[in-house]
Structure formats: structure tokens, C-alpha cells
Amino acid sequence: MALGYWNRILRIDLTTGKITKEEIDDDTLKLFVGGAGIGAKILWEEVSPEVSPFDADNKLIFAGGPFQGHPLPGGAKFSIMSKSPLTNTYADSAAGAKWGPLFKRCGYDVLVIQGKSKIPVYLYVEDDKIKIRDAGSIWGMDSYQSVDEIRKEIGDPKVSVATIGQAGEKLVKIACIVVDKHSFAGRCGLGAVMGSKNLKAVVVKGSKKVPVANLSLLKNYNRKYLKEINKTSIKNELRTQGTPNLCITAEGFGDMPIKYWTGDTWPEGAKKIGAPNYTQVLFARPYPCLYCPIGCHRNIEIKEPEKYRLKGAGPEYETLGMFGTNLLIDDLKAISLANDLCNRLGMDTISAGACVGLAMECYEKGIISKKDTAGMELKWGDPNVLLNLIKQIGNREGFGSIFSGGALEAAKKIGKNALELVVHVKGLDFPAQDPRTCWGMALTYATGTRGACHLRGVAEDVEMSGFYIPEIGVTKEVAEFFNPKGKAFLAAKMQDYCSLINSLVLCLFMPDGGDLSFTSILNIFNSITGWDWDVQKAMLCGERIFTLQRLINLRDGYSKEDDVLPPKMYIPAKEGFRAGKVPPFEDLLNEYYKLRQWDKRGYPTKEKLKKLNLSEYYKNRI
């Protein structure tokens, strides 16, 4: 058995009720590590192109890696994988809180859920006890109510609950999975996959100790790096202000979405919704995941006005961007209420903001009218429009129900010129970062295996924030704004790096925000596993995982024609930091393909797959 692992998959078939335990061999773990890597392997082997996201044969996979089950900073993360209803291909989404460590302590590395229950159920895993329980009494509850009710039913407030709200139950394709009312696996609509299986929640409570190669060395590293991360996060204000601290800086760089990607600057808006105003107005304080020294999440309280009163998880940078500057809304309390509403419904705030932005732009351009909206005037800057549409989308009611399939599907239904307005890649809406500022990100968006994503290749943090990784050649020389030199290299390296991080599974804020070096990460990894990996071997593993995800995309029907940016990304700003600038995308993409050793169609070459130990996958290549 590999140290740092249990070498075990827990598989639950909701159609038959059968529960099985399967072994993972050491060679598989050394090839794919865990998390997103193991998830990609299972999806490749078990979910064919003919399987649709809501089919019973689709798999929903929860997986940790070697970093789970130990009191490590950043080790609370875990990954969820499936075929996405938004993109119809590979998807992974990550969350924190404490679910990942508690599941690992149950004695498993991976949970594979298949089939579909005839009635609403939830799963309860407590060490070796696995139960499929009736969820009829909580079906229809919002995600927060569900967490409270399940803990009450089990009689233990410390169990960790990954659940869906009404959006997931109603198969809203931008539904998310909510963990402990605290963290959210937001992207790709995996909450809808969960709902399609009549699965309300997965509840875990573990007490086993995970085997480690060198416990004393791990403890020494842990103490050392914990102090370093804490010191850095206070210095850069990530701990004191959270991700809202990014708003003013990002807007200054032209990186925030403004008026659904048609505006250039809005400094006064960013100042109102970002920190330090955010911290003062919302009485915000750190809300850390288990073992985290940073606490990037915010716990907020709104005391007045009465209609906005709430206490709980506050909006992150992405939500502030997509509900705030994206919609020209600067009412911080209204944004927080909209965020809370999405959290309870169980809905991705990024895609929800994109849907509302598209609706407002279509209304402004006369593509839709009051006749379509049942009299609702979709004005920019109106928080009531945001709140009303979120309720309609999440409940599949009224005009908003057209967006319950996501922005791209809505645009196809609306017709006229709506399709040209959607800002997405492969069906996944842009997050709140603009690739017209960060050209490395133009490539990570366009070639992203789950669609447009800022977290599966954080090139923007290299370019904007100086997140350099000298061990892999990611230095200041490849980070110059509006200079194409080195951007293909930057994009590829960061995608491979992030694929590895999401398979370990480690929160990205430990290196990107806490300055945990790649060498330090490998020190932790090797002390857990005893494998003695160096940077080269680790990066080869990251590239292997990214490439397998790419092969799934290709098998599912995607091609070079889908490695594109939407039309708005070729419209330069008239003012601000990125005025007159757009990425030379075709040149960048050609260089990226060459660097990746992909052919002109976007397929990895036979030689590249052999180098990555993926030759067997080449035989099945379409």
C-alpha cells in the first residue's frame, strides 16, 4: 500500500443500492496522484461520449489526494469530477471546509457514485459504516437548511455535509455543491448532476489515521511552513481583507468585468464593493477552512436595513466582480444578499452573474423586451433585477427559467444576435478576470479542459501579482504585460502545475498568496509518500493529468475550433490600463500547440503521449 493513501475506492450504485470497495494499485497513484488526476482516469474509462451528464451511467466522483487527512495548511481541499451539463465533457470543481480530510479519515481515497435512486436519498459514511438514507424530508430545502437538518437527524453537529439546494434538485445547469454552508464546488453545474441522481447530500465523519512515510519530518515541515504562510498572508492582506482586497487592484489593471465585458473602467464601483470598504461595511472577518492559516473566506454580518439582514459566508472576489462591476451594481449589501441567495439555492455565482449580465445586455440592445420579461425592466445597476432573476433561475420560474440551462443555452433559445454576446469557452462562462489584460490567461481560458477558468492555470496571478515559480521557469521574464514573448510557455506550465496541485489536493492559496514554494510542496509530498519526487517528475505528472483531460475533451467532440475566445475579447478598451490592447491570439495559440507537441488539429502527438505514459490512450484516440 502506498503511504499517504488507503489505495481504496468506495463505489456506491444508487440504482441497485450496491456498495463495493475497490483497490487502487500503486502504479495508478504514481501516474495520476489523486483528486482531479484520478477523476480524469475514471471518467476516461467509465464515461463514454454517448453518456449524457444526466444519465444514470454518468459518474459523480469525490476525491482527495495525499495531502488530505493530515493537519496541513491547504489540505482541506477536495475535488469533485463528472461530465458537466454545461460543457458536456470533463469537469472538475473543488471545495474546502472540512469534507476532504474527514472523508479521507473514513479509510478511502475516492468515492464514485453511479446510477440513480428512485427516491431522494443522502449518503452517510462514518469510517466503515456506509448508509443510503431517505432524504424525502429534506428534499426541497435550501442548502443551509439541509446541512442543519442532516446534522440534527444524525445527532452530530461536527459531521461534514456536501449538499445541493433547490437549483440542483431542479437540474439547473449552473447548480453547485455546497459544503458545510462554508465552501462551494461552484463551477460546471455538478450540483445538477447530483440532483439528477436524486442525491441530496454526501455526509462524512472519519476517525482513522492516514499512514505517513515520515511523520516527524512532516510535522517539522508543517510547523515551518505554517509560520511562513501566516506571515506572508498578513503582509499581503489576504488574511486581513480576504479576496475582496483584489477588487481595486484588478479594476486598475482592466481585469474586472464591467457591464458584461463591454465596459473599460469603473474605479468608483470597485472601491465601493472591494476592501477595505467591504471589511468595514460588512463587519467581515476571516472564515478559514480546516487547518488554514489564511482564512480567505469572509464571515459577514449585515444588521440593517432589515430586508438585507444576514449573517454567514460573504461574497468572494469572483462574486463581487460578476454581481458588482459586471452588472454596474455598487450596493455591497445587495450583492451580499444575492450571494447568500445563490448559496442557499446552490448555484454558481459566476455563471449566475453571467446570465444576468447577458439578460441586461440583450434588453439594452432590444433583443428582448418587457413582453419577454413579464414586465421586468432589466436595467444595469438595479440590484432588484439581480435578486429577482436569481430566484427565477434557481427555481426554474418565470422569464429567468430560460437561463436555467446557462448563458450559452439561453442565448441559443433567445436567438437573434444573442449568441454573439455570450462570453464563454466550451459553454463555461468567464470568471471575473479579463484575458485582454493577461495574455497568458487568453490561452489558459481557450484551451482549458473544463472551459474558461482562472484556477486551472493561474497565469493572471503571475502577470498581475508576481506569483513566480522559478523551479519551473515561471519568472518575471514571461510576465510582462502586453508582450507575447513567453506567454505560451507560461500558459502551459501553469496548466500543468495547477493540474498537479488539484490532484495532490492542495489549496492554491498556499503557494499563490502564502508563498509556499514548489520545493516546499514537494518536501511535504515526499515526507507523506516516501517517493522522493523532484520538480521534473512532478511537472511531468501534472502534464500527464492535463493531457488526459484534453483527450476526454477530444473524444467528446471538441477540437481546435473550440480553442477560441469570444468576439468581445477582440474589442480593445478605449481607456484605462489595457486601452488599445488585445491578445494576438492566433499567433499565441500556434506557439502553444507547438510547445505542447500537439498537431494542427489540437491532438497530442504519438511521441508526446508515449513520453507521458499515455500510449494506451492514443490507441483509442478519435
Mean pLDDT of 502-522: 95
Instruction: Report which of 63, 71, 74 is spatially closest to residue 296, judged by C-alpha positions.
Output: 74
State pLDDT tens for residues 158-210. Answer: 999 999 999 999 999 999 999 999 999 999 999 999 999 999 999 999 999 99
**Of the ranges 228-232, 399-403, 467-471, which one carries the lowest mean pLDDT score?**
228-232
Q: Using one digit for the tens of pLDDT, what is the confidence trace for 68-96?
A: 999 999 999 999 999 999 999 999 999 99
- pLDDT band at 619, cuts 50/70/90? low
The mean pLDDT of the chain is: 97
pLDDT at position 231: 85
Assigned C-alpha cell, 540:
511531468
- How many CB atoms within 10 Å of residue 210? 20
Report the pLDDT value the prediction gives residue 235, as an integer from 0 to 100.
77
Residue 609: is its pLDDT beyond 60?
yes
At position 502, the amino acid (one-letter code) is N
- The CATH superfamily holding the domain 8-205 is Aldehyde ferredoxin oxidoreductase, N-terminal domain (3.60.9.10)
Question: In sequence order, which residues have a C-beta less than 8 Å from that of residue 100 and are 6 or more positions away?
Answer: 64, 68, 75, 76, 77, 78, 505
Give the count of alpha carbons within 13 A of 273, CB side only.
Answer: 34
Average pLDDT of span 111-125: 99
Residue located via cell numbers 523551479: 471
Task: Write a three-state SS string for 219-269.
Answer: HHHHHHHHHHHHHHHHHCCHHHHCHHHHHHHHHHCCCCCCCCCCCCCCHHH
> Residue 617 — very low, low, confident or very high, per pLDDT cuts 50/70/90?
confident
Neighbour count for residue 401 (Cβ, 10 Å): 16
Span 146-160, pLDDT tens digits: 999 999 999 999 999
- pLDDT tens digits, residue range 339-371? 999 999 999 999 999 999 999 999 999 999 999
Residue 276: asked if its preceding bond is cis (omega within 30°), the reply is: yes
Q: With bands split at pLDDT 50, 70 and 90, how would you rate the model's confidence at 514?
A: confident
SS3 label, residue 469: strand
pLDDT at 620: 58
Q: How far apart are CA 474 and CA 411, in angstroms?
A: 38
Please state, for a pLDDT cut of 70, what percent of the chain lies above it: 99
pLDDT at 548: 98
Helices (H), 91-246: 99-104, 143-154, 166-169, 190-196, 215-235, 238-241
Global pTM reads 0.97
- The pLDDT of residue 560 is 97
Q: Parse the chain into domains and list their residue ranges.
A: 8-205, 243-422, 439-619
pLDDT of residue 622: 47
* Domain 243-422: top CATH class: mainly alpha
Please report, as a single letter, which amino acid is at residue 454: H
| Per-residue model confidence (pLDDT) at position 134 | 99
Burial, 268: exposed, middle or buried (Cβ in 10 Å; 0-12, 13-18, 19+)?
Answer: exposed
**What residue type is assigned to position 145 of the chain?**
Q
**Considering only the top CATH level, what class is 439-619?**
mainly alpha
In this predicted structure, the answer to whether residue 5 has a pLDDT above a threshold of 60 is yes
